Amino acid sequence: MKFYDREIETETLRRIETTSREYAQMTVITGRRRIGKTTLIKHAYEGKEMIYFFVARKSEALLCQELSDTMRDVLGEDLGDFSSMARLFASIMQIAKRRHFTLVFDEFQNFKYVNESFFSEMQNVWDSNKNEARINLVVCGSLYSMMTKIFDDKKEPLYGRATSRIRLREFPLSTLREIMRDNNPDYTPDDLLAMYMITGGVAKYVEQLHMQKAFTKEKIIESVLSFGSYFIDEGKELLSDEFGKDYGNYFSILSAIAGGFNERGEIKSYTGVEAGGYLDKLENIYDLVYRYRPYLASENSRNVKYGIKDNFLNFWFRFIYKYRSAVEIGNLAYVKGKVLADYSTFSGWILERWFRQTYRETGLYNIVTNYWEKDGNNEIDLIAVNEADCEIVIGEVKRNPRRIDLHGLEHKAQNIITKRKGWRIEYAALSLEDMGH
């Protein structure tokens, strides 16, 4: 698959590499697993002197040997034998005082499992040598909670050491359209929506569909729910390391949210788990869920709902985890039947998400959300607000445009209209047909 998007990130990494020829740089790259961090780094530094090193969870002596071998192979520098990664890193920093190169530590957080003292030892080496070294040090990691703690916690030794931070996100919607055009020029809106539903713009998932040549709705669902599919165990593989031994409660809560139980009370009733503490961690430590209130609600309002940020995890918890008993006995036809039976409803909800993301990506609005009233009535799918220009878009989203009722939408929006007198209000009817090509 060709390299898509990432122009800004590539340009930024190359600019940092140029700066590092005079001043040592430490760049931290974070992003969920499969988002394309490694591919981006290799693309940005193609043709440059780069030592790429994956930090596996193995003995420190073995890691030292591997890194020494890589230094010799790439730079022709023979460092000798080491059993301490900190001492090896000190030798590497000495080399950087007489020549420039890029060093990448991938899955950097794994050093915690190799030698817990490495981060403090690395800090001492870095602080002692950075003023004379000409090194472009790039560290990246997928475990959001651990990477955040390492570099954002004031108690941690590497706090404040990063000179640049890059958070790699999913492909924008324009890139998903481009990928579809390249692989299925005659695609339908439903094909595009199915790709968005499964991948959410995560590069590795798009690549998996590309390898399977799955770029129609039918082929995408078949690819995800076929025997030996990459996607079947993906949710568990992604999150088990993050949650550790307590993953069962987290999985139950995420399953509840994916199933439409979005309020704390509903989640507790569904799971039997007191969800408050878990939800706070899912939002603030793991960055997996988001909390949202209806437009115009105060910050103190208890009218709060939760959603899963990631499209694939929404799908995985809604169908694969929920019907895991069928998955475990190999009855994927049963799961596929459940997906198809619920497809219209679930994809309709994903379509709402598509259009909210569409309005966010225009850059014209400072608030993009939805609306409902305390009793659950007058739900509105899309609210896009430009407070500076006193403009608001109020939208209804349906798969079928004939089911959109703009008069009914105007009635639902009366409370908003009353509180925003004098504003320019636009009503939007949004359906599959409006996804663009």
Residues of the domain holding 75: 7-167
Provide the number of structural domains found in the chain.
Answer: 3
Residue ranges of the alpha helices (H) in 184-310? 189-199, 203-212, 217-224, 234-243, 247-258, 264-271, 276-284
pLDDT average, residue stretch 229-241? 92
Residues 83 and 100 in one domain: yes
Q: Please check the confidence at residue 198 and state whether its pLDDT lies above 80.
A: yes
Q: Within a domain: residue 73?
A: yes
Residues 161 and 177 in one domain: no
Q: Within a domain: residue 423?
A: yes
Q: Within a domain: residue 178?
A: yes
Residues 91 and 160 in one domain: yes
Q: Percent of the chain at pLDDT above 90?
A: 90
- Predicted TM-score (pTM) of this structure: 0.92
Q: Please check the confidence at residue 374 and state whether its pLDDT lies above 90.
A: no
Residues 214 and 116 in one domain: no
Q: Within a domain: residue 309?
A: no
Residues 100 and 26 in one domain: yes
Backbone angles phi, psi at 103, to 5 degrees: -120, 125
d(CA 349, CA 197): 10
Give yes or no for a contact between 193 and 355, defined as CB atoms under 8 angstroms apart.
no
Residues 214 and 128 in one domain: no
Residues 151 and 13 in one domain: yes
Residues 142 and 189 in one domain: no
Backbone angles phi, psi at 51, to 5 degrees: -100, 110
Residues 49 and 179 in one domain: no
Residues 61 and 144 in one domain: yes
Tens of pLDDT, residues 258-301: 999 999 999 999 999 999 999 999 999 899 999 999 999 998 88
Tens of pLDDT, residues 349-360: 999 999 999 999
Whole-number pLDDT of residue 436 = 86
Amino acid of residue 317: F
Whole-number pLDDT of residue 131 = 96
Residues 73 and 200 in one domain: no
Residue with tokens 């992003």: 31
Tens of pLDDT, residues 127-143: 999 999 999 999 999 87
Residues 154 and 177 in one domain: no
- Angle formed by the axes of helices 276-284 and 264-271, nearest 10°: 120
Q: Percent of the chain at pLDDT above 70?
A: 100
Q: Within a domain: residue 79?
A: yes
